[in-house]
Amino acid sequence: MKAETFLPEDYIPADNEPFMNERQTEYFRRKLLNWKAELLEDTRDTVAGMKDQTRNIPDVADRASEETDRSLELRTRDRQRKLVTKIDAALRRIDEGEYGYCEMTGEPISLKRLDARPIATMSLEAQERHERREKVHRDD
């Protein structure tokens, strides 16, 4: 088993250090794990809240409003479930040593992009090309 990497509380990955060194990798691993924990906690709260809020509301408008709120909440949780899957994939890439590299070009993804979107799989340039191609094909 690998020894835990020391990471100061105020650590921020910098461009002047080797790309995806142990500290950067650990920084992103922790960021992803914390994000996943928050999402799972939100999901538990939602499930508990829905169990508690099951009640018979006599007013049709109030019932419709509550159903709309539940539907919105469930859609949000579904998006978060998909996000957890992407977080798990990013954690696997970290374990395999592939994290931080563009899946299209193999080039490093900028640290700023990874910090803002730690589940990113493409560099900004590759993502923009991909979206332009997608838009062209969608418009046909």
pLDDT band at 1 (very low <50, low <70, confident <90, very high): very low
What's the structural domain count of the chain?
1
Residue 47 in domain = yes
Decide if 95 is inside a domain. yes
- The answer to the question of residue 17 being in a domain is no
Domain span at residue 34 reads: 22-139
Whether 9 is covered by a domain: the verdict is no
Q: Which residues of 28-57 are buried (b: 16+ CB within 10 A; e: fewer)?
A: bbebbeebbeebeeeeeebeeeeeeeeeee
Residue 11 included in any domain = no
CATH number at residue 84: 1.20.120.910
pTM for this predicted structure? 0.80
pLDDT, one tens digit per residue, over 67-114 is 787 888 888 888 999 999 999 999 999 999 999 999 999 999 999 999
Per cent of the chain over pLDDT 90 is 60
- The per-residue pLDDT for range 34-78, each reduced to its tens digit, is 999 999 998 887 777 666 665 667 777 877 787 787 888 888 888
